[in-house]
Amino acid sequence: MAATYLQEEHHIFREAFRKFLQKEAYSFYDEWEKQGIIPREFWRKMGENGFLCPWVDETYGGFGADFGYSVVINEELEKVGSSLVGIGLHNDIVVPYIASYGTDEQKKKWLPKCVSGEIVTAIAMTEPGAGSDLAGIKTTAVKQGDHYIVNGQKTFITNGIHADLVIVVCKTNPQANPPHKGMSLLVVERGTPGFTRGRKLEKVGLHAQDTAELFFSDAKVPAENLLGEEGKGFYYLMEKLQQERLIVAIAAQTAAEVMFDLTKRYVKERTAFRKTISQFQTVQFRLAEMATEIALGRAFLDDVIEQHIAGKDVVTNVSMAKWWMTEMAKRVASEGMQLHGGYGYMEEYEIARRYRDIPVSAIYAGTNEVMKMIIAKHLGL
């Protein structure tokens, strides 16, 4: 059943985006995986065709599109491959911080280029010693005149190599008690003195997605690059992390649907003992179980999306969606590979790539253990 938040214009947009991806992405994706990065040229083409941050206000170069368009974009990107996750991060996770908390000057300076693809963004939260425990970060930003002097290290940063703008989570008041009240967000631009990038990290999956370490050694950041107010960074993160987790759930649900279709097609073609393996009851039952979980996931996800679009508090439900759908997608990946037999372990089969790409979705945007902690807290436990 079609989601009620998607209207005819969304479906027309989806078809246009699919055609764009057929021409500009599907044919090149395997090569991008081998090269270990998505070309900047693809980002620019996305921007030229109106597929980057379409929700941005027309004043700053966007179309003022609703979240339904973001859902469509993220679903279609995931169908190509999970390594395109960095585009969803730019569109619906990082740039919204600028739109929500930036000054008019900051918006005029950065948003049009975020929409055009001239600027690629990243957000730097995780550190070698601090992941889901955001209050435990060590990166500091000390105010000196009209600049902040930033020192620290970030790791596992999506879009870390390409990023022209990095929203850095830092401590502007390391003595704050409790610690989270001393956190702020600073926008660090490419070429900032003292800001360097480490190696592009080699990951189990998402091979074409550029993930990197970032280093700040007396990095001199203009005070005007403070995003919002000093000391409010943690609260900004808590507000925006809900949409980030929803984006992860959307990608996981879509990946599960893709993997199911790949597996169903394969078992109907593969023969053993003089019949297709789809004719064996054990295979039929496993596919029936997968199809049921996927249908349940889609129904719950669409409900959460509708609530999010309506501006409702979705903290509990989005945490449920994030952990359950990423775990469900992992189960589908495992079953899908098993039902492909030996071929499922071969790189030439898409299920193999999907199998190694999906596990990280249960880790980033807050681990699934943290999701359960949030749910428990909202249950009054």
Q: How many residues does the chain have?
A: 381
Whether residue 373 is predicted with pLDDT greater than 70 in this model: the reply is: yes
What is residue 130's predicted lDDT score, i.e. its pLDDT?
A: 77
Model confidence at 81: pLDDT above 80:
yes
Residue 134 DSSP one-character state: G
* Whether the predicted pLDDT of 247 surpasses 70: yes
Q: Is residue 56 within 8 Å of 111, Cβ to Cβ?
A: yes
244 given a catalytic annotation: yes
> Could you give the CA distance from residue 203 to residue 241 in angstroms, rounded to a whole number?
23
Q: What average pLDDT does this structure show over 66-71?
A: 97
pLDDT at 80 over 90: yes
Please state which of the ranges 87-101, 120-134, 306-320 shows the lowest mean pLDDT.
Answer: 120-134
Among 97, 76, 98, 100, smallest CA distance to 87 is for 76
The confidence score (pLDDT) of residue 314 equals 94
CA distance 86 to 346: 26
Do 339 and 267 touch, CB atoms closer than 8 A?
yes
Structure confidence by residue, pLDDT tens digits, 136-149: 899 999 999 999 99
Q: Is the pLDDT of residue 135 over 80?
A: no
Angle at CA of residue 348, ends 347 and 354, nearest 5°: 60
List pLDDT tens digits, range 305-345.
Answer: 999 999 999 999 999 999 999 999 999 999 999 999 999 99
Mean residue pLDDT of the chain comes to 95
Q: Is 41 exposed, middle or buried (0-12, 13-18, 19+ CB in 10 A)?
A: exposed
- Say if residues 261 and 269 touch (Cβ distance below 8 Å): no
| Mean pLDDT in residue range 94-116 | 97
pLDDT digits (tens, 9 = 90+) for 257-299: 999 999 999 999 998 899 999 999 999 999 999 999 999 999 9
Q: Is the pLDDT of residue 43 over 90?
A: yes
Whether residue 57 is predicted with pLDDT greater than 70 in this model: the reply is yes
Percent of the chain with pLDDT strictly greater than 70: 100
- Tens digits of per-residue pLDDT, 162-216? 999 999 999 999 988 898 899 999 999 999 999 999 989 999 999 999 999 999 9
- The one catalytic residue in 33, 76, 78, 244 is 244
DSSP state, residue 127? B
- pLDDT at position 345 is 95
Angle between helices 104-116 and 40-48 (to 10 degrees): 110
pLDDT of residue 280: 95
Q: What confidence category does residue 129 fall into, taking pLDDT thresholds of 50, 70 and 90?
A: confident
* Maximal C-alpha separation, the chain: 79
In this predicted structure, what is the pLDDT of residue 226?
Answer: 97
